[in-house]
Amino acid sequence: MAKKKVTDIRDAKPHRPDKYKLLKALSEKQIMAALEFIGGDGHTIFPMEHLVKMCHWPKETAEAVCHKYSSDGSAKGSIFKDNGEMLESCKGWYSLDVLYALASSLDVKFEGCLGRGFQARAIDSAIREHFNIQEKEA
């Protein structure tokens, strides 16, 4: 049986879709500010305040995409501070989850990729294409 390609947050996170309805009210400018802030990162969990202060999102919308994340003890499934210290858990917004949610709210389809960074950049590109915005040169 072939795996279904996940291109919709409702497929990836079936217990959260109602919270993401708030994303439909975001302006193009607010969405683009989030894309610029994320910068193709598919790995980081950021504090909620970053969406409010740097991307100008309403607090209620930022709170809706924040969750508690827990480490599982493995190298790939654990959360680390910048200094390498492993955290048991933290609360914030996971960059790749927010990208999936933004794409879903805009009904944007994108290519499925292996690797969180590649996936993040694919979603970023699809959203920029949706708004007819060229990607920044690296």
- Residue in this structure with the two tokens 């598919």, named with its chain if needed: 42
- Give the residues of the chain that fall short of pLDDT 70: 1-19, 134-138
Residue 29 in domain: yes
Dump pLDDT digits (tens) for 104-133: 999 999 999 999 999 999 999 999 999 987
Residue 66 in domain: yes
Give pTM, 2 decimals: 0.80
Give the Cα separation of 69 and 79 in Å (integer): 8
Host domain of residue 21: 15-130
Residue 73 in domain: yes
Q: Which of 80, 79, 119 is nearest to 99 (CA)?
A: 119
Convert 23-50 to b/e letters by CB count within 10 Å (16 or more is b): beebeeebbbbbbeebebbbebbbebeb
pLDDT value of position 17: 59
Residue 3 in domain: no
Those residues whose C-beta lies under 8 Å from the C-beta of residue 74, and which sit 6 or more positions away, are: none
Residue 54 in domain: yes
**Number of domain units in the chain:** 1
Residue 6 in domain: no
| Rg of the chain on CA atoms, in Å | 15
Residue 5 in domain: no
pLDDT value of position 76: 83
Give the Cα separation of 80 and 88 in Å (integer): 9
pLDDT value of position 9: 40
